[in-house]
């Protein structure tokens, strides 16, 4: 057990104070995640504290937030593993704030929709049942389909901080997930929005997205492959 001070971002658009940090103290036991701590604070100290969460299992992506200066999933972060007497929790940087730790994910969704994140086919399926894929072809998608769309990668990217229309590493990873899929026949459609001032070429390969991803994925590598694909498409 350890007594930890939590400094949590408070923000209410109707309150003149703007953003400020509010302190709460909580006895934290081994096994408690940052999300458990937030829930405990909300349930026992301050019911007005607002944050997103759903699955508590690192699946839904709802609970991404800036915890001690790093984007993390609150439900996958053991509070005691931070080895800190004070834990500071702020919303994901770069997104428009809504309340306390909740941000608007509109730009995350519009970046995703820009890459047409679904299988595009133009030919009839080879059988009357489904489009088959070999195990080797399926293996090529490992590290691409596991994204839970928490937004941690794009939120950590200076290109996004400078341009809120930047499509973002989460969407590039999703685009490459389909471009690399042996069943997909729509590479040009997935990439049509990427060769643009808000697209691929704004990535400066600084790897913040790799550092931030709670699922250990590598959007930077996907971006490099999409850049190769964009050049190939241009030279025919
Ligand atoms: S609550 Fe779903 S990922 Fe954390």
pLDDT tens profile 9-47: 999 999 999 999 999 999 999 999 999 999 999 999 999
Q: Is 215 in the pocket of ligand 1 (CB under 6 A)?
A: no
Strands 86-90, 2-10: pairing is parallel
Entry pTM = 0.93
Distance 151 CA to ligand 1 centre (A): 12
Q: How confident is the model at residue 233 (pLDDT cuts 50, 70, 90)?
A: confident
Residue to substitute in 36, 39, 51, 54 for testing ligand 1 pocket (most ligand atoms within 8 angstroms of CB): 54
* Tokens read off for 115: 């890459």
Instruction: Give me ligand 1 centre to Cα 3, in Å.
Output: 24
- Cβ of 155 closer than 6 Å to ligand 1, yes or no, is no
Does the CB atom of residue 227 touch ligand 1 within 6 A?
A: no
Distance, in Å, from the CA atom of 194 to the CA atom of 111, rounded to the nearest integer, reads 10
Could you tell me which residue, 233 or 13, shows the higher pLDDT?
A: 13
What is the SS3 assignment for 108? helix
37, 55, 72, 214, best to mutate for ligand 1 pocket (most atoms within 8 Å of CB) = 55
Kindly tell me the sign of the dihedral angle through the C-alpha atoms of 210, 216, 219, 225: positive
pLDDT tens, 126-173?
777 888 899 999 999 999 999 999 999 999 999 999 998 999 999 999
Q: Which atom of ligand 1 is nearest to the CA of 75?
A: 4
State the span(s) of the chain assigned CATH 3.10.20.30. Answer: 2-103
CATH code that applies to domain 2-103: 3.10.20.30
53 Cβ closer than 6 Å to some ligand 1 atom = yes
pLDDT at 202: 94
CATH node for 106-234: 1.10.1060.10
Residue pLDDT, tens place only, 187-221 = 999 999 898 899 999 999 999 999 999 999 999 99
Beta carbons of 89 and 67 less than 8 angstroms apart: yes
In this structure, what is the dihedral angle of CA atoms 102, 105, 108, 111, given to the nearest 10 degrees?
-160
Asked if 191 contacts 174 with a C-beta cutoff of 8 angstroms, the reply is no
- Integer Rg of the chain from CA: 20
Report d(CA 194, CA 203) in Å as an integer: 11
Ligand 1 site, residue 54, Cβ cutoff 6 A: yes
Q: Separation of 35 CA from ligand 1 center, angstroms?
A: 9
Q: How confident is the model at residue 236 (pLDDT cuts 50, 70, 90)?
A: low
CATH 1.10.1060.10 domain range(s) in the chain: 106-234
Pocket test for ligand 1, best of 52, 61, 71 (most atoms within 8 A of CB): 61
55 Cα nearest atom in ligand 1 = 2
């Amino acid at each position: 057990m350890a007594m930890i001070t939590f400094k949590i971002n408070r923000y209410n658009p109707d309150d003149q104070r703007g953003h400020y940090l509010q302190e709460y103290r909580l006895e934290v036991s081994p096994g408690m995640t940052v999300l458990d701590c937030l829930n405990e604070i909300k349930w026992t100290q301050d019911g007005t504290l607002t944050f997103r969460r759903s699955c508590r299992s690192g699946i839904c992506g709802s609970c991404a937030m800036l915890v001690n200066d790093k984007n993390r999933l609150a439900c996958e972060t053991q509070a005691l593993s931070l080895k800190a007497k004070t834990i500071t929790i702020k919303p994901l940087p770069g997104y428009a704030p809504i309340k306390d730790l909740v941000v608007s994910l509109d730009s995350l969704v519009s970046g995703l929709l820009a890459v047409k994140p679904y299988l595009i086919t133009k030919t009839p399926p080879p059988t009357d049942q489904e489009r088959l894929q070999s195990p080797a072809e399926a293996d090529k998608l490992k590290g691409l389909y596991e994204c839970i769309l928490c937004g941690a990668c794009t939120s950590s990217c200076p290109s996004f901080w400078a341009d809120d229309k930047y499509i973002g590493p989460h969407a590039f990873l999703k685009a490459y997930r389909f471009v690399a899929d042996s069943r997909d026949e729509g590479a040009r459609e997935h990439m049509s929005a990427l060769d643009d001032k808000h697209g691929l070429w704004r990535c400066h390969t600084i790897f913040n997205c790799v550092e931030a991803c709670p699922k250990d994925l590598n959007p930077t590598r996907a971006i490099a492959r999409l850049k190769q694909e964009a050049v190939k498409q241009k030279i025919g």
